[in-house]
């Protein structure tokens, strides 16, 4: 299996080097360069390798997760907490807090989703900062 992977990686590397050489020059207009066969093939290789990496990482993560029941319990707790934060953020997002000039570019649902994403970011940032500051403060006063 190891040899097959090495041979496949060498073949992909050689193919990528050839495609790199075949890429259009900088003097070609962007619209024509985007339609280049070499460029499209490089994107296909990139998507293929990214897909393989995602699948392999998910398989090994799930395998490790289900082999350790204690870890599964912690993971479900964290995922539940994250879903709670997302739910609270969605409820807090109004969907109308945009300048009327820009509100014409998107509908209320899109604006509400953007607000939810910002709220999730802010809440998780506050949680991260507090999880760093609180133990430090406790440690200062316990000595």
How many other β-carbons are positioned within 10 Å of the β-carbon of residue 89? Answer: 19
Per-residue model confidence (pLDDT) at position 45: 87
pLDDT at 114: 87
CA distance 140 to 31: 61
What per-residue confidence (pLDDT) applies to 120? 96
* Structure confidence by residue, pLDDT tens digits, 102-140: 666 677 788 888 889 999 999 999 999 999 999 999 888
- The pLDDT value given to residue 122: 96
Judge whether 76 and 46 are in contact, CB under 8 Å.
no
Residues of the chain with pLDDT under 70: 97-105, 143
8 A C-beta contact, residue 88 and residue 123: yes
Residue 5 and residue 59: Cα distance in Å, rounded? Answer: 18
């Amino acid at each position: 299996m190891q040899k097959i992977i090495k041979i496949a990686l060498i073949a992909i590397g050689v193919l990528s080097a050839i495609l790199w050489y075949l890429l259009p020059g900088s003097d070609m207009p962007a619209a024509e360069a985007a339609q280049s066969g070499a460029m499209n093939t490089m994107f296909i290789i990139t998507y293929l390798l990214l897909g393989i990496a995602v699948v392999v990482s998910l398989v090994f993560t799930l395998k490790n997760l289900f082999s350790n029941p204690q870890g599964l319990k912690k993971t479900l707790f964290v995922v539940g907490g994250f879903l709670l934060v997302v739910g609270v953020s969605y409820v807090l997002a109004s969907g109308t807090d945009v300048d009327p000039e820009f509100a014409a570019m998107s509908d209320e649902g899109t604006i509400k989703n953007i607000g939810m994403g910002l709220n999730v970011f802010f809440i998780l940032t506050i949680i991260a900062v507090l999880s760093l500051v609180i133990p430090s403060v406790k440690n200062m006063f316990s000595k």
